[in-house]
Amino acid sequence: MTIASLSEVLQEAKKKNYAVAGLVVLGWEDARCYAETAEELKVPVILQAGPGCRANTPLPVLGKMFRYLAEQSSSPIVCHLDHGYTKEECLQAIDNGFTSVMFDGSKLSFNENVDKTSEIVELAHKQNISVEGEIGFVGYNDGAKSQSTDPEEAKTFAELTKCDAMAISAGNVHLQTNKSSSIDMQVIKKIETLTEVPLVLHGSSGIDDTLKRTIANTTNVCKFNIGTELRKTFGDTLREEIAKDPNIYDRIKLINSTIPRLKEVTKKVLENISKI
């Protein structure tokens, strides 16, 4: 049984200059695929329940599912709430087996973000649960624009909230399908001179693989959130499989037909940033 907290896996990654993948889960099949691939490679992984996943499956079910997978694995698995927007949602995750929560106060004023994140950190730490906060705003491809993280604000945010990990905005963008090298390394480097808190890059599907590897090896970015790349793999593969035999209607057969390709891409993702 290797259920782990976010702090445990990120501090180890920071010490040994690698990163851990936060993989966005949408259901049982992809969660199992991610856990199995991490075990095969003997690397840690963070299973993440984001807003889309939670809209389809209740948090109590997700908590039990994540913990079940962690209990079967010999690799460390973090059971993580991604983009929790309220204290109530974070507390529900804590009460249902999650080992870390992300409170996303990036749309709030700086002071309100600090106050709300600090409150959740205090409550979570009493139960040995890790907390990821966010400072700056990571935008969306063809949507709301990013607001780069101010390094001095990041320093103050980390000091005041005592969060275990800090998501920052440095050119990373959610839901980006094309690979890009437009990451502001100067912002990352400046932030890590001001705080030792492990840093997180959301929207990492859109970051060039070589650049991700470089960032993992040379900075305090210890967590890359990856969802779009994996969702696209699933969707593209499912369309191909349906086209091969339109007479197959069993949903289990259809979904399972995507797993070999999904596992292949997951392996590439994990190997790229988690090699020790």
Q: Which residues are designated catalytic?
A: 82
Residue 123, helix vs strand vs coil:
helix
- Which two tokens mark 183? 């990451």
H or E segment at 23?
strand 20-25
For the purposes of burial, counting CB atoms within 10 Å of the CB of 130, is it exposed (0-12), middle (13-18) or buried (19 or more)?
buried
Q: Give me the phi and psi of 49, to 5 degrees please.
A: -105, 105
Taking the CA atoms of the chain, what radius of gyration do you get in angstroms? 18
Dist. CA 76–CA 78, nearest whole Å: 7
- Give CA separation, 266 vs 23, 175, 269, in Å: 9, 17, 5
66, amino acid identity: F
In the 8-state DSSP scheme, what is residue 137? B
Cα dihedral: 193, 202, 259, 51 (round 10): 140
